[in-house]
Structure 1
Amino acid sequence: MTGPVIMMDNPTKTYQVKNGRILNKFDGHEAMIQAVDKILKTERFVYPIYDNQYGNDFFELFGKSFDYATVEVERMVKEAVLADDRVLTVTVDDIEILNRNILRVHGSCTTVYGDIKIESEVSVNDS
């Protein structure tokens, strides 16, 4: 006779990278901060090691007007980060125009490991 099957989640182990160097492995909240940051810095559909749900579509905003970009960047941030099943909610608090080329997005997300601040810069044109 066998007992009930107990399923346990595997920890979210990843490499801790600081100043371009791998220091050790870690998991939990700190690993999740790194995961969200990496999602927001990785262009989707470019790197074959990632599936088509990983990364962001910010490149689609290049050459668009700031009016269009400020509306779309909120959707894109939410879509990119929520693709990770450890993320429960995403909130964009502010979209700031840094200069004629760059938007900065401020917000937060709630994950299974706790809340994480989001900050990302998005280029809209090169002129």
Structure 2
Amino acid sequence: MIDGKEAVRQAIYLILNTERYAWLIHSWNYGVELHSLIGQDPDFCIPEIERCVREALLQDDRITAVDDFSFEKHKKSIAATFTVHTIYGDIESETEVTI
């Protein structure tokens, strides 16, 4: 069993790997909306990734802020790293989005 900072780290992973509105088992407030970025221009995707990640993670009451985004463009994806501020301390996190 885990709690505190490790539980939030696990929640971040699950939220960022669950597409919002795709699964009836989850509330419509759970998950991230990144599927619509497939096929889009990378310059359009970067601010959208930031917005979607921030919006998805702030649904968790233990998360107070998400900032310090940095992006790395690849051929068919964008890797994002960012800092998640929680009531237990800061967590460095990352996600990769296929575009």
| TM-score calculated relative to the size of structure 1 | 0.75
1:3-48 Cα deviation digits (max 9, x unpaired): xxxxxxxxxxxxxxxxxxxxxx221111110101111111111111
Runs of 4+ in 1 over 4 A off after TM superposition: none
Structure 2 distance, partners of 1:92, 1:60, is 23
Q: Which has the higher helix share?
A: 2
1:1-127 to 2 correspondence within 5 Å? 25-97=1-73, 99-124=74-99
Deviation (angstroms), 1:114: 1.2
User: Max radius of gyration: which structure?
Assistant: 1
Structure 2 distance, partners of 1:48, 1:111, is 28
| TM-score calculated relative to the size of structure 2 | 0.94
Count of residues paired in the alignment: 99
Q: Alignment identity in percent?
A: 37
Q: Give the structure, 1 or 2, with the largest relative contact order (CA under 8 Å, sep 6 or more).
A: 2
| Letter matched to residue 119 of structure 1 | E
Structure 2 distance, partners of 1:90, 1:55, is 15
Structure 1: give runs of 5+ residues left out of the alignment: 1-24
Query: Could you say what secondary structure the match of 2:64 adopts?
Result: strand
Structure 2 distance, partners of 1:52, 1:92, is 27
Structure 2 distance, partners of 1:92, 1:44, is 23
